[in-house]
Every structure is written in C-alpha cells, then in structure tokens.
Amino acid sequence: MDSQVKKAIIDVISLFKGAKEAGLKQVPRTHLEKIIRIEKEIEKLRKSPKKTATSLESVDLLTLEEMVRKCTLCELSKGRKNTVFGEGSNHPILMLVGEAPGREEDIQGRPFVGRSGELLTKMLRAIGLERKEVFITSVIKCRPPRNRTPRKEEIEACLPYLLKQIELLDPKLILCLGATSARALLKTESSLSSLRGSFHDFDGRKILVTYHPAYLLRFGGSRLIDLKKQAWHDLQMLQREYEKIKMEMEN
C-alpha cells in the first residue's frame, strides 16, 4: 500500500479515536472537513499513475546505472542531456556525495568536472588521494534548471538510487559536500555549520560534512580564507580517519 494512503487512513482513524475519547457523539465540522480532504487525496492517488522506483533489492551496480540512465521519476528527467551516476573505485573506502550535476556535468555525464570539480581534485590531492581511489556522486542524478537547489520531491525520487549505491559500494567513510547531501542522508534540517566538525553515524559508516566546492568558489578575500581554513580542518579529520581505516583493513 502507498505510504501516503497509509498515512491518510491513519489520520482518519486518529480523528475518530480523538473524537470518541473526548466523549463526542458527533464528529466536529473541522474533523469532517479534514476527512473529506483526505478522501479526495486518496482518490487522487488511486487515479494517478504510480511513480515509484522499481525494486532495487537485487540489482548490481551496472544495472543500477542503467536504471538511473532511463529514470523518469521526476520532472528533471525532461530537461537533462545526461544522467550523472558517479565514477571512481568500485571498492572505495571513501565516497563523496554532492548535491546535483551542474552544466558541465550534464554535458559530459560525469560528476564534478567544472570549476568545482577542479577544486575538489585539489582538495583530495591535499590529503593524498586521487579521484580514482574514491567514488564521487551526488544525491540528484539530473541537473536542476539553472543549477537551483533540488526540491524535496526530486530528492525523494532520487535518494533510493544513492542509498543503493552506498549499499553496493560499501564505503566506510562518506564525505557530504554541502547541506543538501548532508540533510538527505542524515534526515535532518540542521544547518551545515552545526553538522560540520564531527562524524555522524550512518548504518555503521561514518559521515563527515564540509562545504561544497562550488560554495567556496563564490567568495574572495578574508571570507574565502576563513572558509578554506574550516574546509582544511574537515579534510584533516577525514584524512586521519581514512588512514586509520586503511591501516585496519591492511592488518
């Protein structure tokens, strides 16, 4: 049963229980109006074509990439040139998760290939890593118009693909680049500044949050210097944990 339909039914039951417990013999008008709205929503859901992802339970990485390439679960599919599944090692210790493809990524079908990609490569090299050693992807696999922030429904449509990528690639560390990816994976509305500076648990994996390279490129002067210091602090935390995990795996 659709989760929205389930929620609607639970709402109706809750309304009637509340009325009964309050000793009411008639359901208040406000309750009736809400029930009518819920009934209309259920009817709309029943009539609308079902737009949910095919089960991802038994797919491998290649099949998942093909599913992403053919995906039409949200409106972003109509304006894309290419989907951007991600690239890198198939057995990474570290996965990097950005927000969504930009113009260059949409053209090339690869993650982080524009100016922000150049900066990301430099950030990785600063802690002794190359792109081929990690896996780089994003929450959204299609470019939003004018590079706007992805909408809630777009994130909900695409998130199962990212979660399956994490399951299949099995990274021990995840670096969230920006608030969008951090909030999507950690299921929070907290600010990026409050999420930085410590590791977060994600199904036994460790998530670290830092600034998106594109955000760093917006600034200059003293503001950029301050942001770079903060980002470097995050990267040093990541490097220490990465080296610790790598050593444990080798022993």
pLDDT tops 70 at residue 21: no
CA quadruple 172, 175, 180, 186: dihedral, nearest 10? 40
More confident site: 91 or 39: 91
d(CA 169, CA 91): 6
Q: In the prediction, which pLDDT does 36 show?
A: 73
CB-based contact 173:199 (threshold 8 Å): no
pLDDT tops 70 at residue 48: no
Q: In the prediction, which pLDDT does 158 show?
A: 97
Query: Strand, coil or helix: what is 210?
Result: strand
Q: In the prediction, which pLDDT does 251 show?
A: 84
Q: In the prediction, which pLDDT does 49 show?
A: 44
d(CA 138, CA 150): 11
d(CA 116, CA 114): 5
Q: In the prediction, which pLDDT does 148 show?
A: 95
Name the pTM for this structure: 0.78
Which of 13-27, 77-91, 93-107 bottoms out in mean pLDDT, i.e. has the lowest?
13-27
| Average of per-residue pLDDT across 75-100 | 97
| Average of per-residue pLDDT across 56-81 | 95
C-beta neighbour count of 19 within 10 angstroms: 15
d(CA 95, CA 105): 18
Nearest Cα residue to 103 out of 131, 139, 144:
144
- Band (50; pLDDT cuts 50, 70, 90): very low
